[in-house]
Amino acid sequence: MGEFGRAQGLHGEVRLKSFTADPQGITGYGPLTTADGRALTVTEVRPAPGSAPDMLIARVQGVTGRTAAEALNRLAIYVPRARLGTPEDTDEVFTTDLIGATAVDAAGAVVATVVAVPNYGGGDLLELRPAAGGATALLPFTKAFVPTLDLPARRITVDLPEDFFEPPGPKPAEDPG
């Protein structure tokens, strides 16, 4: 749902990057959990200075000083999947529903498993672990590369470039002759 950043001021406020569709709507999800199982409630948010609409200044229940706010830095917060319901739009998916899905090619052959859905600012990517083993690779999560989703079956169809899982290496030398 989000990730805390550095402390903001002296009175327990902390920067929060919200991953929700409406960034300020993060307060409406009730208690959020951390990876280590703690429950945190974001009680109040306001836009952070700057132009990033997903960056907020937050107050967290029980966090009243700078030291406590600093302890939240780089801490991701989550909501249990059951509380999310279903997406409203047919083209909308929850990234958690993609993780663990089997990726198949157009013929139905299993080629990979989705292990993560990172977004480094240019759009969502699928991190795929090849069925044959080896290093993962990133695929843009677009209709061109992922034409079909069957989330109830935990299966997606992917259109991978021929050398998608091949490790990068030196380009072959051109024949001088």
Please write the tens of the pLDDT for every residue from 7-61: 999 999 999 999 888 899 999 888 999 988 899 999 999 999 988 889 999 999 9
CATH no. of 2-83: 2.40.30.60
Report pLDDT for 173.
Answer: 64
Cα–Cα distance, 130 to 128 (Å, whole number): 6
End-to-end CA distance of the chain: 58
- The dihedrals phi and psi of 138, each to the nearest 5 degrees, come to -100, 135
More confident residue, 91 or 125: 125
- pLDDT category of residue 126 using cuts at 50, 70 and 90: very high
Q: Return the closest-CA partner of residue 103 out of 112, 95, 92, 93.
A: 112
CATH no. of 95-157: 2.30.30.240
Report pLDDT for 172.
Answer: 62
pLDDT for 79-95, tens place per residue? 888 887 787 777 788 88
Report pLDDT for 88.
Answer: 77
More confident residue, 169 or 109: 109
By percentage, how much of the chain surpasses pLDDT 70? 95
Q: Name the pTM for this structure.
A: 0.67
More confident residue, 154 or 85: 154
Q: Residue 177: pLDDT above 90?
A: no
